[in-house]
Amino acid sequence: MARPDFYNSALKHMVNTSLFNKFGLCDLIHSQPATIDYIIGNQNDWICTVNHISSRNLHYIPVDFNIDLLYVWGCQSIHCDCMLFGTDSVYFIELKDQNWNSAKKRTPRLKHGMEQLMATIFHFRRFHQAEFKRLIIKEAYLSNKQYTCAKNSHKQLVNNFYNKTGFVLEMSNSFTIDES
């Protein structure tokens, strides 16, 4: 099994995010990698809005349809859509554009999104142990364009996620990065 390299895959998608204080993450074509968009006029296409109020550069990496992540037994692993990383930070992001208005639909879809994030985090930790140890900021975002969770509505799921991964999980269709 080839070792997936999250960092080298970023080279072909390198974007200097420090030039933009706001950008969007999009997953318009579900059979292609997620994209990053800086054109404010395209905000209707954004699944997640990132308010980047830091002058530090972040690198964007599409994970889905870009990095082959396999389980130990050789089958394709589930994984999140994209990630951002800086010198001592990493943000894993799963993008959804689904109707979660009923609890019957919401809970299994939330759990699946969380599983996608966890699987990617575990692969990253496994193949980039040295980089993982130096990280100060470790966050994960489950972003749904059509549904924003109340801060405490899924507290037990968020706590379980942290206990399993060591990552803070936010569920929102926008978030702020401030690494100043």
Here the tokens at position 44 are 């209707």
Between 137 and 104, name the one with better pLDDT. Answer: 137
What are the CB-based long-range contacts (under 8 Å, 24+) for 124-127?
124/6, 124/83, 124/90, 124/92, 127/3, 127/4, 127/5, 127/6
Quote the CA–CA distance of 158 and 169 in Å, as a whole number: 6
> To 5 degrees, how large is the angle CA 180–CA 8–CA 90?
30
- Per the prediction, the chain carries an average pLDDT of 82
The predicted structure's pLDDT at residue 90 = 92
Quote the CA–CA distance of 7 and 25 in Å, as a whole number: 19
pLDDT over threshold 70, residue 9: no
DSSP H/E element including 65: none
pLDDT over threshold 70, residue 109: yes
Q: What is the pTM of this model?
A: 0.87
Q: Which residues contact 7 (CB under 8 A, 6 or more apart)?
A: 85, 128, 131
Q: What is the pLDDT of residues 110-127, one digit of tens each?
A: 888 999 999 999 988 988
* CB-based contact 148:171 (threshold 8 Å): yes
Per-residue pLDDT, averaged over 65-93, amounts to 81
pLDDT over threshold 80, residue 64: yes
* CB-based contact 161:140 (threshold 8 Å): yes
pLDDT over threshold 70, residue 178: yes
Sheet with 48-52, side-by-side order of all strands: 35-37, 22-26, 48-52, 174-177
